[in-house]
Chain A
Amino acid sequence: MPTDPKALLAKYQPKAAKPISLDQQLCALRFSPDGKTLAAGSFEGSVRLWDASANPIAESPALKGHNGWVQRVAFHPDGKRLISADSWGQVMCWPFTEKDAKPVWSVPNAHDSWVYSLAISKDGKVLATGGRDKTIRITNPIDGKKLNVFNVGEHVLTLAFHPDGKSLVSGDLKGQIKQWDLATGKVVREMDAKEMFLRDRIQDVGGVRCFEFSPDGKSLFAGGSLPKSGGFVQGISLILSFDWATGKGTQLYKGATENEGYVYDMAWHSGGFLIGITSGQPGQGKLFFQQPGDAVPFYTQAIPNPHSLAMHPEGKRIVLAATNANSSGNGRALGKNKEYPGNFSPLHVFDLPA
């Protein structure tokens, strides 16, 4: 039985801390398993690190060696290693707790192009990465050696392991979800999220952007949007919930307007609800808490263009990598010192009652 939304809100009303300003834009954000480290992939080829046990969180030296965008970061379950993947196809493994950490291993051409997605199995034995090259690379996370390659046939935007550790699911640009048998490398079944894709003129728009499993493995949540146009990329944000037993999908969350864009990231909270973020047109976007079965979220908060969401392993805190205000505009608009200003990703920190 769903919990009364008012009771949920009373119990989990988040408290916002002062946003932490940064000098770069970020792609990805994740907490380490012990909750003491926060890692972010940046637009400028580095992995930024923070001591998340400090208050406020304190930045540590960045991990350098990537190129382009560090699109995804994920901590190994052993809590000792961090895996990162970039837009030039490189995947790296870092002993992130060490001072002046050097990569444990690095595969420069793990993919032929942009690595969009990354997931590590719960037992820590399998690393999966997916990319613009339309493949999934199965890797041994201990040494970086290739174990297998699955041909998906489309850009692999997101990946997730089922909690049972036996299956991997991929979400692609065309809205197709595939369940892969890790042992055989074959597609076990497909699930349909094609409403998340649009061919507008000659532009491919949308795709399945993020996954989250319920802890019991009975539900797979897929985030994206109902795209309405290319160019500006307008779309109504959307989460589909798939019954793992039957593969049947139902709508869990649907945004209100075409300006909300993609559901870029999600996390399941032990209180029985999903926490999600929507990309939004410039200056827009939001954080929301959605209980399965409810018509609307029990909590929403406007946040300018959040791109990633990290939840503390104990569920006490969430951190969003968002965007500064006034991030868009045509033509020459110079800063106070006549320099051409870039944008950056402030970190929005919310504490949740235990």
Chain B
Amino acid sequence: MLRSNLCTPADHHLSRRQWFGTAAGAAFTVAAPSFAQTVKKKHKQVLFVWLDGGMSQLESWDPKPNTQFGGPFRTIQTSVPGIHVSELCPKSAKVMHHLALVRSLCTQDNSHSAGVERIQRGDPKNRGVTYPFFGGAVSKLLGNGDSGLPPYIWIKPMSGGFIPKDGGFLGPKYGALALGDGKPPENLLRPATMSVAEDLERNDLRNLVDKRYAERRSKENIEATKYVFDMAAQLQKRRDLFEAPFAPKDQERYGTHDLGRHMLLARRMLEAGVTFVKVNSYGWDTHGDNFNGQGSLVPQFDQAFAAMIEDLHERGMLDNVLVIAMSEFGRTPRINGHIGRDHWPEAWSLVTAGTGIQKGVVVGKTNDKGTFVASEEHDIGHMFHTWFKALGIDPKATEYDNEGQPLPIAHDGCKAVKELLL
């Protein structure tokens, strides 16, 4: 019987065995001399909030009230005089003095299928290789610090698993460890029915098998396998990350919805020292009933995001953590017949904050109707340059080494947005 090559949701669950196997089975590429050593002292980190499907810029960061496409909502003042956002973002408005808005995004793709990867890979020039997602790139360039934890953790609804594709040509070692619904990988912890002695005996057997396996495999594959196993072992030592309860007050502040719970776990992961934490929310593709849809979604994001900014600030972590919240594109100014907004990469917005980023600023602007950028346009390549620089990585001087092929870490036709950088 032929087996379909289409995956099923069960394929994305991560077991300990799958985790090791996946990383070992894929090609591994040795990259350039580690840049991580250079920035290790500061241990920069990233929080990357991905609102999958497309947050509406008009119902969040770039409202155009009382205009043809402005929709029903009002604007509100923020903590920064002169900066206004949608009334759906009241909590973010109060922490605007920590944030930077970019209202001049003009990107290249209006489809989800291509747009998600294109944006998260930084849309570099075609070099015949698949670039890593931003999380994979940062993991490579910054390393995993002193935490001993996996450098790239992805907290998302539904299933989890190890996602090697995020590593691109850097190899599976730089993929994402996805925590489905914020839960630890299945079978990660030693079963209660197994004693410590039995577990050690099992590990001895594994080492023996690994040794034989390594005799017939490339060095890179074996390194990847060992690396992933070490990460698993470290994660097993940090059961508290998953089991310690959160304070009721924090749960209330972040929200008890998925995005709130996942952001709260992300805070814990950042506090534990994880280099790159991605938090995903799905369902933002409001082609129908957009204003009730974004009216439902945006306030929940606003609640969790503002609470995170407050907490990072109070803990002094904004000095080292780069924060980004964005989608693959914005939404059309035009309101369709189903009272929805469609995909719009022509003029949209994101929010960023933290290390290396200016506070309380707006970069770029759209025209009066919000249809097109009325200032210098910024593609995702510009943002990658900016974020790398904010992390202390010079994107003009740093290259990947793809088995001897030097490759720029960001689109070499773009440059950093100076107004965003400290």
* Chain A residues packing against B (C-beta within 8 Å): 25, 43-45, 67-69, 71, 87-88, 113-114, 132, 173, 200-205, 207, 230-234, 261-262, 279-283, 285, 304-305, 307, 322-324, 327-332, 340-343
Question: Closest 8 interchain pairs by CB?
Answer: A305-B337, A87-B72, A233-B288, A323-B337, A331-B110, A328-B336, A330-B343, A201-B283
B355 CB to nearest A CB, Å:
29
Restricting to B264-303, which residues have a CB under 8 Å from any CB of A? 281-289, 292-293, 295-297, 300
Is the contact region of chain A dominated by helix, strand, or loop, or is it mixed?
A: loop
A343/B295 contact (C-beta < 8 A), A68-B70, A330-B343 known? no
Shortest A202–chain B CB gap in Å is 5
Q: Which residue of B lies closest to A345 (CB)?
A: B337
Q: How far is the CB of B223 from chain A (nearest CB, A)?
A: 38
> B380 → chain A, closest Cβ, in Å?
16
The reply to whether the CB of B392 lies closer than 8 angstroms to some CB of chain A is: no
A200 B65 Cβ-Cβ under 8 A: no
Contact with A along B329-367 (1 / 0, CB 8 A): 000111111111011111000000000000000000000
Bound-state Cα–Cα, A200 to B283, Å = 8
A231 pairs with B293, CB closer than 8 A = yes
Q: Is the CB of B287 within 8 A of A328?
A: yes
Does A231 contact B342, Cβ atoms closer than 8 Å?
Answer: no
10 sampled A-B residue pairs with Cβ under 8 A:
A68-B66, A87-B72, A114-B72, A231-B53, A232-B340, A282-B340, A328-B337, A330-B343, A331-B342, A342-B335
* CA gap between A232 and B288 in the complex, in Å: 4
CA distance A69 to B291 in the complex (A): 11
Q: A25-B335, A340-B334, A340-B372 are in contact. Are A231 and B286 (CB under 8 A)?
A: yes
B227 contacts partner chain A, Cβ-Cβ < 8 Å: no
**For residue B87, which residue of chain A has the nearest CB?**
A113
Residue B35, interface by CB 8 Å: no
- B-side residues, CB < 8 A to A, are 53, 65-74, 87, 110-111, 157, 257-259, 281-289, 292-293, 295-297, 300, 332-340, 342-346, 369, 371-372
Residue of A279, A283, A332, A340 most packed against chain B (CB within 10 A):
A340
Question: Which chain A residues border B372 with CB–CB below 8 Å?
Answer: 340
Residues of chain A with a CB closer than 8 A to B345's CB: 331
| A281 & B296 in contact (Cβ 8 Å cutoff) | no
CA gap between A69 and B332 in the complex, in Å: 18
Query: Nearest chain B CB to A180's CB is how many angstroms away?
Result: 23
Residues of B within 8 A of A173 (CB): 292
Question: Are the C-beta atoms of B293 and A230 separated by less than 8 Å?
Answer: yes
Partner of B69, one of A207, A262, A342: A342
Which A residues lie within 8 Å of B292 (CB)? 173, 204-205, 207
Q: Classify the secondary structure of B's interface with A.
A: loop
B346 x A282 contact (CB < 8 A): no
Partner among A114, A329, A341 whose Cβ is within 8 Å of the Cβ of B73: A114
Q: Which residues of A contact B337 (CB under 8 A)?
A: 280, 282-283, 285, 304-305, 322-324, 327-328, 343
Q: Which residues of A contact B281 (CB under 8 A)?
A: 201-202
Given contacts A202-B297, A232-B287, contact A330 B336 (CB under 8 A): no
Say how far A41's CB is from chain B's closest CB, in angstroms: 11
Q: A202-B283, A343-B336 are in contact. List 11 more A-B contacts (CB 8 A).
A: A44-B67, A114-B73, A201-B157, A231-B53, A232-B285, A232-B338, A280-B338, A328-B336, A328-B337, A330-B110, A331-B344
Inter-chain contact B346/A332, CB cutoff 8 Å: yes
Chain A residues positioned under 8 Å from B69 (CB to CB): 342
Decide if A233 touches B259 in the complex (CB within 8 Å): no
Residues of B within 8 A of A114 (CB): 72-73, 295
User: Across the interface, do B285 and A231 meet the contact criterion of CB distance under 8 Å?
Assistant: yes
Residue of A nearest to B110 (CB): A331
> Please, which residues of chain B bring their CB within 8 A of the CB of A323?
336-337
Chain B: minimal CB distance from A87 (Å): 3
Contact: B288 with A234, CB < 8 Å?
yes
Q: CA of A102 to CA of B338 in the docked complex: distance in angstroms?
A: 33
Chain B residue numbers with a CB within 8 Å of A282 are 287, 336-338, 340
Docked-complex contact A233 and B293, CB < 8 angstroms: yes
**Once the chains are docked, how many angstroms separate the CA of A324 from the CA of B334?**
12
A332 to B285 CA separation, bound complex (whole angstroms): 17
Question: Which residues of chain B are within 8 angstroms of A327 by Cβ–Cβ distance?
Answer: 334, 336-337
In angstroms, Cα B71 to Cα A69, docked, is: 7
Residues of A contacting B293 in the complex (Cβ-Cβ under 8 angstroms): 203, 205, 230-231, 233
Name the distance in Å between B21's Cβ and chain A's nearest Cβ: 31
- Whether the pair A71, B157 counts as a contact (CB closer than 8 A) is no
State the CA gap A257–B137 with chains docked (Å).
45
Residues in chain A near residue B283, CB distance under 8 A: 200-203, 230-231
Complex CA gap A4/B157 in Å reads 52
Name the distance in Å between B69's Cβ and chain A's nearest Cβ. Answer: 7
Residues of B within 8 A of A331 (CB): 110, 342-346
CA distance A57 to B171 in the complex (A): 68
Smallest distance from the beta carbon of B370 to chain A beta carbons, Å? 10
CB proximity of B401 to chain A, nearest CB, Å = 37
User: Do residues A68 and B74 form an inter-chain contact, with CB atoms below 8 A?
Assistant: yes
A71 touches B72 (CB 8 A): yes
Q: Do A204 and B282 form a contact, CB below 8 Å, given A231-B53, A232-B340, A323-B337?
A: no
Do B74 and A233 touch across chains, with their CB atoms under 8 A apart? no
A43 touches B258 (CB 8 A): no
What is the minimal beta-carbon distance from B354 to any residue of chain A, in angstroms?
Answer: 24
Assembly CA distance A323 to B293 (angstroms): 20
Closest Cβ–Cβ distance, residue A316 to chain B (whole Å) = 28
CB atoms of B284 and A87 under 8 A apart: no
Given contacts A200-B283, A201-B283, A202-B259, contact A261 B342 (CB under 8 A): no
